[in-house]
């Protein structure tokens, strides 16, 4: 048993309230007490093994401390890059022109399939470490760039093995072969859907937490998505959906009807969709980088005003967003989505925990995981200014990783 005391916390956001001159006590990997330092209990849960003075960083007056951030939407398992394609897009090339030149998801699938497991694993390991060092203690990590049964299941096992290594964030592994139709199934999308459905119980046994479907007019239809998600749920998987389509495809409405664990991106969402999400209390994950790429903005303010749980994600992927920086995502959400600083921080912590079905994190309170970050600032307002606030110290389960 290890008992650790964090003292002289100048400003602490617990996930529910702001405390000044705070302290926190950790036993093993859980918070056992948090509050104003002046109210520290006289009776302590065992002998204190370590006292951390948060005020020992120059000129920070104790600094600003929050729960570890939660990235609720990422695609980190891939090899290679698509810089040439990104350059084409920036120069005005259309999606059709890029695909004709060999770009798009298919290009990453080709490179990833041709990469040896050791090299692939090293690349994913380095990305995940960047998340943790920047203050993100939980990452939702999708497969989706092998698009074969064996490759996708191997990716699930890869992620699970990496999570056990020192210096890695906690992972929520999402099985995502329904990312695109692979070339060997060209012209036979329904055959591929049925094949993916037959892999879902194996994915759950391999350690996947959830299943995702890319639902739009270009990849998988709402009917495909409904069948795959229902099949995944029957296998014990949480259900997620890339609801990238226009409202006429019914993706968002279907996600609400199914009460998915999360409906993601939702850049085109009408009033009826919002009401359906609110009625079902279905969480939504929004990604500012995706909104910039698509040049479409989800109605985050309306979602919040209707009580819909909102989470944030970097949408890290090889074709659109190279960011592993949730602090940058928080800042962009404030600027783009008309969110207050605390609304954006809540979406990056409590909202992420809700979307991932992980009620043991995202808040610093008795019984919650001691995933904690001290930031290079003395007030939460710095998140709206820094465009990527620096994490000075990160604790995962009460253990310092930097």
Q: What is the pLDDT of residues 364-392, one digit of tens each?
A: 999 999 999 999 999 999 999 999 999 99
Q: Which residues pair with 316 in a beta bridge?
A: 74
Q: Is the pLDDT of residue 114 over 70?
A: yes
Q: Is the pLDDT of residue 31 over 60?
A: yes
Helix (H, G, I), strand (E, B), or coil: what is residue 211?
strand
Task: Name the percent of the chain lying above pLDDT 90.
Answer: 82
Least confident range of 60-69, 81-90, 253-262: 60-69
Q: Is the pLDDT of residue 237 over 90?
A: yes
Q: Are 146 and 157 in contact (CB under 8 A)?
A: no
Q: Which two tokens stand for residue 76?
A: 């980190």
Question: Would strands 30-36 and 284-286 be described as parallel, antiparallel, or unpaired?
Answer: unpaired
Predicted confidence band at 295 (pLDDT cuts at 50, 70, 90)?
confident
Q: Specify the residue for token string 């939504």.
A: 284
What's the mean pLDDT in 177-204? 96
Q: Which residues pair with 391 in a beta bridge?
A: 375
CATH class of 69-355: alpha beta
Q: Give the Cα separation of 181 and 177 in Å (integer).
A: 9
What's the mean pLDDT in 83-112? 91
pLDDT for 344 equals: 98
Dihedral sign for Cα 169, 394, 314, 126, please: negative
Q: Are 304 and 339 in contact (CB under 8 A)?
A: yes
Helix (H, G, I), strand (E, B), or coil: what is residue 181?
coil
pLDDT for 59 equals: 46
CATH class of 3-67+362-400: mainly beta
Q: What is the pLDDT of residues 212-228, one digit of tens each?
A: 999 876 779 889 999 99
149-163 and 117-133 helices, crossing angle to 10°: 40
pLDDT for 45 equals: 61
pLDDT for 268 equals: 81
Q: Specify the residue for token string 């990469």.
A: 115
Q: Enumerate residues 6+ apart whose C-beta is below 8 A from 134.
A: 324, 325, 326, 327, 388, 391
Task: Give every strand in the sheet of 310-312, ordered side by side.
Answer: 69-71, 136-142, 170-178, 210-215, 238-243, 262-264, 284-286, 310-312
Q: Give the Cα separation of 58 and 177 in Å (integer).
A: 48
pLDDT for 47 equals: 56
Q: How far is CA 5 from CA 14, 37, 56, 227, 402, in A?
A: 16, 11, 14, 50, 17
Helix (H) or strand (E) holding 312: strand 310-312
Give me the residue spans of the domains in the chain: 3-67+362-400, 69-355
């Amino acid at each position: 048993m290890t008992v650790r005391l964090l003292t002289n916390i100048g400003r602490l956001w617990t996930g529910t309230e702001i405390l000044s001159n705070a302290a926190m006590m950790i036993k093993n990997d859980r918070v056992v007490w948090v509050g104003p330092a002046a109210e520290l209990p006289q009776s302590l849960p065992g002998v204190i093994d370590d006292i951390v003075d948060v005020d020992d960083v120059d000129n920070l007056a104790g600094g600003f401390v929050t729960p570890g951030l939660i990235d609720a939407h990422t695609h980190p398992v891939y090899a290679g890059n698509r810089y040439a394609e990104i350059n084409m897009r920036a120069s005005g090339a259309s999606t059709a022109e890029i695909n004709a030149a060999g770009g798009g998801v298919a290009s990453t699938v080709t490179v990833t399939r041709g990469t040896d497991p050791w090299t692939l694993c090293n690349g994913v390991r380095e990305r995940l470490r960047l998340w943790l060092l920047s203050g993100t203690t939980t990452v939702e990590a999708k497969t989706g760039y092998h698009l074969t049964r064996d490759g996708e299941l191997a990716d699930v096992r890869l992620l699970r093995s990496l999570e056990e290594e020192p210096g890695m964030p906690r992972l929520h592994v999402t099985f995502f072969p329904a990312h695109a139709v692979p070339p060997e199934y060209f012209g036979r999308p329904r055959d591929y859907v049925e094949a993916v459905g037959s892999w879902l119980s194996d994915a759950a046994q391999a350690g996947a937490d959830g299943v995702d479907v890319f639902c739009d007019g270009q990849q998988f239809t709402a009917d495909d998505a409904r069948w795959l998600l229902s099949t995944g749920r029957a296998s014990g998987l949480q259900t997620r959906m890339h609801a990238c389509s226009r409202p006429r495809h019914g993706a968002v409405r279907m996600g609400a009807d199914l009460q998915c664990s999360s409906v993601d991106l939702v850049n085109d969402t009408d009033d009826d969709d919002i009401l359906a999400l609110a009625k079902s209390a279905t969480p939504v994950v929004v990604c500012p980088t995706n909104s910039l790429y698509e040049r479409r903005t989800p109605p985050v303010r309306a979602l919040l005003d209707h009580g819909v749980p909102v989470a944030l994600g970097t949408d890290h992927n090889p074709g659109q967003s190279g960011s592993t920086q949730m602090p940058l995502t928080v800042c962009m959400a404030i600027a783009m989505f008309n969110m207050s600083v605390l609304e954006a921080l809540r979406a990056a912590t409590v909202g992420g925990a809700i979307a991932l079905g992980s009620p043991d994190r995202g808040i610093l309170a008795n019984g919650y995981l001691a995933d904690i970050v001290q930031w290079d600032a003395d007030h939460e307002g710095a998140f709206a200014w820094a465009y990527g606030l620096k994490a000075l110290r990160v604790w995962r389960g009460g253990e310092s990783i930097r």
